[in-house]
Amino acid sequence: MSRSSQATGFEIRRAAAQRLQTVLTGAPFVPFPARDIADPRDRALANKLVTVSLRRHGQISQILASVLEKGMPKRAGLFEAALRIGVAQLMFLPDMGDHSAINLAVEVIKKDRRAGRFAKLANAALRNVQRGFAVDDLDPKDLVPSWIYARWCTHYGEDAAAKMVQSLLVQAPLDLTAKNADEKKDLFDQIGAVHSLGASFRVGEREVPVEELAGYQDGHWWVQDFAATLPVFLSDPQKEHSILDICAAPGGKTAQLAASGAQVTAVDLDGKRLERVKENLDRVGLTAKLVEADATNLSTERQYDRVILDAPCSATGTFRRHPEVIWHRREKDIAQRGELQAQMLQNAARLVKPGGQLVFCTCSLEPEEGEQQAKSFLSSHADFDLKPIEREELGGWADVILNDGFLRTLPGMKIPNNEGDLDGFFAARFTRTE
C-alpha cells in the first residue's frame, strides 16, 4: 500500500469512526453526503464501514467483551468507535484485508487526543480478534438486544423472530412510489423496477446513486419502503376527499395522498421536518396544506373524509435500514410512547367525518404500539367500527392480515411479485359510524 493510499484509508477510517461515535452516543446514523466526502468510492466505503459496524453491533459487542479483559476504557475519545470499525473490517469485510483493518484502526486511535494512550491495547485486541474468532461461530441472536429478541419470540414465534434477525444482514432493497404508475410504466421498466402493489415498485440492483436513476430529477417517483405505502393504499384516497395526514414528516404518505388529487392537510409538530415535507412535495410537483401543530391537541375548523395517523413509536420495524434504533431503545420507552399514541388517537377521532375513515399506523414491531392500541381504541369509542382489511384488497396477499382484520408486516416476510422483504409495520382502519 502506497503512502497516499494509506493516508486516504486513514482519513476514511477516521471519518467513519467519528460518525459511528455520534451514533454510539445516541444520535441516528446519517450517511455521509457528497459535501462531506467528495469521492464517491471513498464515500461509499465510509458509509459501508459504519453500516456494517451498526448491523453487527451486538456481535461486535460480544467479541470486544472477550478481548478487553477490563472492559471498554472510559473517556477514551474515538477508541471504541475506531475499534468497532476495525473489528467490522476484520470479521465481516475480509476482502479489504486484515493488515489495513488493524493498522488503520490503531492509527486513528493513536492520533486521537483522548484515545492515543490506548493504542497498544487496541492493537492487541484486534490481533486477538484476528486469531480467535470466525463469523460462523457467532450467534445470530446477538445481532439484536436480548430483551427485544425475547419479545419477538413471544409475540411472533421463534421462526419468525429468527427471520427478522437475519433480515438485518441483507441489504434493504430500494422501493419507489410512483406519482402516476400507469403513465410511467416504461420508466420503471427502464430502471429495472418491478411492480409490487399499488404505486410501489422495487429496484433489484442498481449501479448509480438514487439521484441518478431515471425519473428522479423529473419528480416521477420518491423513495418509500413498500410497507410504509400500505396504510395510504388501504385508505383508498379519492379526488373528492378531504384528508388529514397527522405526523406527516418526511412526507411519503403525504405525497401518496396528494397524488390521488385529494385535498390534503399535512400536520407535524416539528417545523423543520415540515420544511422537508415541502421540499419533497416540491420535487415531485405535488401540493398539500402544511400545518405545524401538536397532534395531541390539534383543533381544526372542519372534519375530514380520511384521517391518517402515523403515530410516533419505537420504530423497531425500521431496524433493517436503521440498525441503531434497536440499540437506542429501552423497554420502558414502548409504554411511554403507547400513552402518547392513545392521546393522539383520541384527538384524531374527533376530526373524522361521520362515515369517514381513520387509519392508525406505526412502524413498530411492538404490539403495545399496534394491536393493543387499536383494540383499546375500539373498546373506548362506540362511534367507530373496525373496517377489516381484506385479502382481495392486497391482491390475495393474506400473510399480513391478522385474524382481527389488522395489518401486520414483519421483516423476513416475502412481498408480492418481488424478491426481498420489508419493514415492520402495523395498520388498523376504522369507520366513524355517527
Catalytic positions, written as ranges: 363
Rounded to whole angstroms, how far apart are CA atoms 210 and 216?
Answer: 8
Q: How many CB atoms lie within 10 A of CB 270?
A: 12
Burial 86-110 (b: 16+ CB within 10 A, else e): bbbbbbbeeebebebbbbbbbbbbb
Query: What are 386's strand-pairing partners?
Result: 430
Q: How far is CA 376 from CA 342, 367, 369, in A?
A: 9, 12, 11
**How far apart are the C-alpha atoms of 314 and 334, rounded to whole Å?**
6
CA distances from 106 to 19, 62, 66, 93, 266 (A): 17, 20, 19, 17, 49
- Residue 354 backbone phi and psi in degrees, to 5: -55, 130
DSSP class of residue 38? -
Q: How far is CA 265 from CA 84, 205, 295, in A?
A: 45, 36, 13
Query: What is residue 414's DSSP assignment?
Result: P
Give residue for cell 420507552: 333
